[in-house]
Amino acid sequence: MSRAWIGAILGLLAASSAWAVEVHEVRLWRAPDHTRIVFDLTGPSAHKLMLLDNPRRIVLDMENVSLKANLDTLKLDDTPVARIRSGVRDGDDLRVVLDISAVVNPRSFALKANDKAGDRLVLDLYDKQAKTAAVKKSVKQSAMRDIIIAIDAGHGGEDPGALGPKRLREKDVVLDIAKELNALLKADKGFRPTMIRSGDYYVSLRGRRDLARKRQADLFVSIHADAFKRKEANGASVYALSTRGATSTAARYLAQRENSADLVGGVSLSDKDDVLAGVLADLSMTSTLDTSLKLGDKVLRNVDNIAKLHKRNVEQAGFAVLKSPDIPSILVETGFISNPGEAKKLATSSYREKMARAIHRGILDWFLAHPPSGSLIAWQRHQGGQQYIIARGDTLSGIAQRFNVSLSDLRNRNSISGSRIMVGQRLTIPTT
């Protein structure tokens, strides 16, 4: 072979290697405190980030990368990004320029390919004045504060969670259930819900716990939809944290799958929780885990009224999202999205509402009987004047059991001779 041919071949190989990595998709999500832009790559690439002024813009340079995705399709409404443009730099590098309309703190990091997602470059634009949804435990007359319930819809953003038939995505199902639960708790006097994720964006597992603590939650409830390689697997479940290993093989498998969400959701190594041992030590010295198990059982008993259960007891495993040392925390699997029959139910708004009502009823069952000190509910119980509004499915005997009062005392306190009650009727709960 002549030197000319060898030179030509080497030139072609050099050119092909220079464009070996492609940006095949670009995705954007808006969260309450930041905007995330994800570049999906066919391989790893070094990058450099620059923040420039006059005019304000962010420049992202990627080495040996070509752009195959269409930046014009990105929805920039309600983001600090006014326009995105691109060009070739130094012959084979990609330059992406973002024109910025507000002051932001940019942060970028690369994520290596794993068994759930390919190579990615993540660009987070944090708002200078973040829109926070901070919730404070309100201090009213005689410290009669609200009970704060942190509602966590699992997955979100670039992490769809488990996938079911007809493009049914776990992140959409659980967000609907979470929003319905939020609405139900908002209507309950003495309770104040707060959404950890209120839209289609990703929050790290540690970030979810941190938000619950920042908002001073009395309970953290994470909502999910299960999946397994066998379509026959079915049933709803409730989980609490285990400090000594999973209570079953299925629980261990599920915890491993849920804990890998950060790999898909796009979390840099700096976001990883490196104080796990201390957290578990704290948990073992408090009543947090015991409360989680008992409260979880109340939720499970109510879910049993509307769905088949996968296990009849609250199971335990090392779920990263439940590792709060001072907040009772449970994870509710609302059914198997991988099971065609359960996926069909989970796809309907009526079933999602039923599931939200069951979770809601379980939460009320616990807190109405065991209200935190200083709360309005605790004060009402002490005064003997706690009011309860009857909901669909209630019975007098069930209400008496929920509040730990005798059925005869409940009847006498409300001048009820029989057992007939009506939805919307207000009852006064006698002092125990």
Residue 4 lies in a domain: no
Residue 102 lies in a domain: yes
Indicate whether 406 and 260 sit together in one domain.
no
Indicate whether 359 and 413 sit together in one domain.
no
Cβ-contact 177, 356 below 8 angstroms: yes
Would the CA dihedral through 256, 201, 344, 394 be positive or negative?
A: positive
| Number of domains present in the structure of the chain | 3
Range of the domain at 162: 142-369
Cβ-contact 333, 154 below 8 angstroms: no
Cβ-contact 89, 95 below 8 angstroms: yes
pTM of the model: 0.79
Residue 54 lies in a domain: yes
Last residue of a domain, one of 80, 102, 127: 127
Per-residue pLDDT of the chain (432 residues; tens, 9 = 90+): 555 555 555 554 444 444 589 999 999 999 999 999 999 999 999 999 999 999 999 999 999 999 999 999 999 999 999 999 999 988 889 999 999 999 999 999 998 888 778 999 999 999 986 555 555 555 444 468 999 999 999 999 989 999 999 999 999 999 999 999 999 999 998 999 999 999 999 999 999 999 999 999 999 999 999 998 889 999 999 999 887 777 778 778 787 877 777 777 777 655 555 444 555 555 544 568 899 999 999 999 999 999 999 999 999 988 888 888 889 999 999 999 999 999 999 999 999 999 999 999 999 989 988 999 899 888 877 776 677 778 877 889 888 887 788 899 889 888 898 888 988 788 888 876
Indicate whether 107 and 234 sit together in one domain.
no
Question: In CATH, what number is assigned to the domain containing residue 425?
Answer: 3.10.350.10
Indicate whether 22 and 67 sit together in one domain.
yes
Question: In CATH, what number is assigned to the domain containing residue 120?
Answer: 2.60.40.3500
The single residue listed with the structure tokens 């999602």 is 352
Indicate whether 176 and 308 sit together in one domain.
yes
Residue 361 lies in a domain: yes
Residue 376 lies in a domain: no
Cβ-contact 58, 50 below 8 angstroms: yes
Indicate whether 295 and 164 sit together in one domain.
yes
ω into 55 cis (within 30 of 0)? yes
Distance CA 95, CA 238 (A): 48
| Residues in the chain, overall count | 432
Indicate whether 284 and 413 sit together in one domain.
no
Indicate whether 236 and 338 sit together in one domain.
yes
Question: In CATH, what number is assigned to the domain containing residue 336?
Answer: 3.40.630.40
Residue 403 lies in a domain: yes
Distance CA 162, CA 169 (A): 6
Would the CA dihedral through 61, 65, 66, 68 be positive or negative?
A: negative
Indicate whether 269 and 318 sit together in one domain.
yes
Residue 136 lies in a domain: no
Indicate whether 272 and 394 sit together in one domain.
no
Last residue of a domain, one of 369, 394, 415: 369
Residue 375 lies in a domain: no
Indicate whether 297 and 351 sit together in one domain.
yes
Indicate whether 315 and 417 sit together in one domain.
no
Last residue of a domain, one of 127, 161, 187: 127
